[in-house]
């Protein structure tokens, strides 16, 4: 090496070291003598993230504040690998910051056109022996997120130290954890007093602020984003009498690594209740779409035949053709054929998908296509585990003209199963097959990266018998915040639904719950017996342009409005408790609005028309544990209906 080159290298090294020291030291502020802290601020109105490092043992923490109030107390950070403990003994060697602005569209979800603006700060930590961990934080108008980056391999990840410490007095809405994410949510007046155990990674906490009125104050929804086969799914864990909720990986199994590692985002969706409910933050954090041509991805309502006819209907071409005809009459673009279709008649032997003569499905697809209806079919995930068999099934379905697959019974969030999701999503995209996952994980940003995912279960939907009115009023603020949810509303014939006395409430669920393929689960007879409900369901649009929370109290009530491309607003509401008159603020915009409401009357659904000014209040009767549905459009001279 020449003298000049050696001198230049020394100068650059010194400059880099000085710059790193300056970046690390200048923004810091003392938190007493115990720790140094660095603030990360996002766009105007955003919460503030505070990353801190203990001066005595070098453990990092993260806190979240909103308008001077505490949303998250200083909470542990870090992870532990086979070779290195990155949860303590750290020093900060550098910090950098940048602005992230991304524009994208989504065929599913709460809104179509999206703009994500975030401040990203990267904190570079080192251990005493020189091992490096980067903490990447992002702050947006609707939340704070962080993830870890290991620039080189330090062995398998044993656990994360990540945890969330709530302020004293916070309450909680939590669902117990199970592999299929289908357990009910329970409201706890004290987050600290919730029973010890495991909870789903979609816990909602009211952390304070406001007047204490329903839906008022500061909220935080703990979630995760960008989980793929390099990692495993996570859930919350809680010990008795603690305000801290830890994070555990699937079955506490090590995450296998072979090189550098970037973990999923740990996400705190934060703001008032409307901000949290309307948030797309979990999607915003996920990688951009891996599907270039999305012209074949077309959401829309479907007639789902499982609750209407069961497995017997799934083995009958004649029955399925009648369902297709009914969907075509209603203007619904899809019909979903559930379990039973690929078994040999009278047997439980699976047909070979390349033997078209063994299946009546091609004939059904042709019949449906002539009626303008697309067919989605159910598959057990085990048929798609072997790459050769997976290609056989998916290529055959695509050749037949099937539009989508409903894949069921994964029942795991292990690293191995997340790798399976990666493979199946690549394959279904290549074959232009839309996807609905059941017995599954929850979306976690997957619908941005793979927009052919129309919906996911991860919820105890209409076919389950353990739902309650409280559960119906919990889902808009928890599970459905994260992504499309296949609850399958519309089963008026089911005696087990918690709003069995409220056809209006059942109808409202078709809007209150968002799903890229809204699987309507009633029988044709049940719809024909309720012509007003049928008329409303016939008008459901393929997708939503915008979503607004009109009013709500998690676990007790929820009213959401969703705007269609033609400018009309569809509104759905659900309430727990005794029959009463409820006041619904019409937060749709200025001017006069024509609102058609559907409520429960003594002889069935009652349709009424109201004219309300934007910002005004609509008073509606609801029965016990009931709800309503509505349709709003701009009022103009001579207009008497919002129907197109």
Which one, of 623, 576, 571, lies nearest residue 593 by Cα? 571
pLDDT in tens, 198-213: 999 999 999 998 877 7
Question: Residue 43: enclosing H or E segment and its boundaries?
Answer: none
- Calculate the alpha carbon distances from 566 to 295, 507, 595, 643 in Å: 20, 21, 15, 11
Strands annotated E in 485-603 = 519-520, 546-553, 557-563, 569-575, 580-585, 592-601
DSSP letters for 173-205: EEEB--TT--PPEEEES-STTSPSEEE-S-EEE
pLDDT of residue 5: 39
Strands annotated E in 272-383 = 302-304, 334-337, 374-380
pLDDT confidence band for 13 (50 / 70 / 90): very low
Answer whether residue 553 shows pLDDT above 90. yes
- Domains of the chain from N-terminus onward: 3-285 (2.70.98.10), 302-539 (3.20.20.70)
**Catalytic site includes residue 532:** no
pLDDT in tens, 33-69: 678 999 999 988 899 999 999 999 999 999 999 999 9
Helices of type H across 409-502: 415-430, 446-449, 469-472, 479-482
User: What gap in Å lies between CA 180 and CA 130, rounded to an integer?
Assistant: 41
Answer whether residue 3 shows pLDDT above 70. no
Tokens of 136: 């990447």
pLDDT in tens, 592-635: 999 999 999 999 999 999 999 999 999 999 999 999 999 999 99
Compute the CA torsion angle 67, 68, 71, 77 (nearest 10 deg).
120
Instruction: Tell me which of 338, 408, 413, 553 is the catalytic residue.
Output: 408
pLDDT in tens, 461-515: 999 998 999 999 999 999 999 999 999 999 999 999 999 999 999 999 999 999 9
Answer whether residue 522 shows pLDDT above 50. yes
Residue 76 CB coordination number (10 Å): 19
> Could you identify the residue written with the tokens 């994360």?
160
How many helices and strands in the chain, by DSSP H and E? 14, 36
**Catalytic site includes residue 463:** yes
Give CA angle at 266 (207, 68), nearest 5°.
35
pLDDT in tens, 421-440: 999 999 999 999 999 999 99
Buried b (16+ CB within 10 A) or exposed e, 136-159: bbbbbbbbbbbbbebeeebeebbb
Report whether 401 contacts 365 (CB < 8 A). yes
Report whether 576 contacts 473 (CB < 8 A). yes
User: What gap in Å lies between CA 598 and CA 621, rounded to an integer?
Assistant: 10
DSSP letters for 483-504: S-B------TT-TT-TTTT-HH
């Amino acid at each position: 090496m020449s003298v000049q080159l050696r001198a230049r290298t020394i100068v650059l090294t010194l400059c880099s070291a000085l710059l790193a020291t300056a970046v690390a030291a200048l923004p810091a502020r003392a938190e007493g003598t115990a720790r140094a802290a660095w603030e990360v601020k996002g766009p105007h109105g955003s919460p503030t993230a505070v990353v801190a490092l203990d001066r005595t043992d070098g453990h990092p923490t993260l806190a979240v504040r909103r308008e001077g109030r505490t949303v998250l107390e200083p909470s542990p950070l870090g992870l532990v690998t086979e070779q290195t403990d990155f949860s303590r003994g750290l020093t900060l060697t550098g910090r950098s910051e940048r602005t992230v602005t991304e524009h994208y569209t989504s065929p599913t979800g709460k809104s179509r056109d999206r703009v994500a603006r975030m401040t990203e700060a990267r904190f570079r930590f080192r251990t005493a022996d020189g091992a490096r961990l980067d903490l990447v934080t992002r702050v947006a108008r609707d939340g704070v997120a962080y993830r870890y980056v290991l620039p080189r391999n330090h062995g398998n990840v044993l656990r994360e130290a990540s945890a969330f410490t709530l302020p004293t007095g916070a309450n909680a809405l939590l669902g117990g954890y199970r592999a299929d994410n289908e357990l009910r949510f329970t409201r706890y007046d004290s987050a600290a007093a919730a029973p010890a155990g495991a909870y789903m990674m979609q816990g909602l906490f009211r952390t304070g602020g406001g007047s204490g009125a329903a839906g008022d104050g500061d909220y935080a929804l703990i979630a995760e984003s960008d989980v793929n086969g390099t990692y495993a799914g996570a859930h919350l864990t809680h010990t008795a009498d603690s305000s801290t909720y830890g994070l555990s990986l699937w079955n506490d199994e090590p995450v296998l690594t072979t090189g550098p590692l970037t973990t999923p985002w740990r996400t705190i969706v934060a703001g008032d209740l409307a901000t949290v409910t309307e948030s797309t933050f979990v999607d915003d954090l996920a990688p951009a779409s891996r599907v270039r041509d999305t012209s074949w991805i077309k959401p829309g309502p479907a007639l789902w035949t499982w609750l209407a006819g069961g497995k017997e209907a799934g083995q009958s071409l004649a029955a399925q053709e009648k369902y297709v005809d009914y969907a075509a009459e209603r203007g619904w673009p899809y019909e979903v054929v559930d379990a039973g279709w690929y078994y040999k008649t009278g047997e439980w032997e699976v047909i070979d998908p390349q033997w078209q003569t063994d299946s009546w499905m091609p004939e059904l697809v042709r019949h449906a296509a002539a009626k303008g209806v697309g067919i989605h079919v159910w598959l057990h995930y085990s048929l798609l585990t072997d790459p050769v068999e997976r290609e056989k099934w998916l290529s055959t379905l695509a050749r037949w003209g099937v539009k989508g697959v409903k894949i069921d019974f994964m029942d795991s969030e292990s690293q191995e199963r997340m790798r399976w999701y990666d493979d199946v999503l690549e394959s279904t995209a290549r074959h232009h097959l839309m996807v609905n996952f059941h017995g599954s994980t929850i979306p976690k940003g997957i619908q941005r990266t793979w927009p052919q995912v129309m919906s996911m279960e991860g919820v105890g939907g209409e076919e389950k018998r353990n739902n309650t009115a409280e559960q119906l009023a919990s889902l808009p603020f928890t599970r459905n915040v994260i992504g499309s949810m296949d609850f399958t509303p519309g089963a008026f014939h089911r005696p087990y639904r918690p709003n069995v006395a409220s056809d209006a409430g059942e109808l409202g669920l078709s809007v209150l719950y968002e799903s890229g393929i809204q699987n309507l689960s009633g029988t044709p007879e049940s719809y024909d017996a309720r012509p007003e409900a049928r008329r409303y369901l016939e008008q459901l649009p393929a997708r939503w342009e915008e979503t607004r929370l009109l009013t709500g109290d998690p676990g007790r009530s929820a009213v959401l409005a969703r705007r269609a491309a033609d400018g009309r607003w569809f509104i759905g509401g659900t309430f727990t408790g005794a029959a009463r008159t409820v006041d619904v603020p019409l937060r749709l915009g200025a001017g006069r609005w024509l609102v058609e409401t559907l409520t429960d009357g003594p002889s069935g659904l009652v349709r009424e028309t109201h004219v309300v000014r934007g910002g005004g209040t609509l008073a509606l009767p609801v029965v016990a544990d009931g709800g309503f549905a509505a349709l709003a459009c701009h009022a103009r001279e001579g207009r008497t209906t919002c129907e197109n």
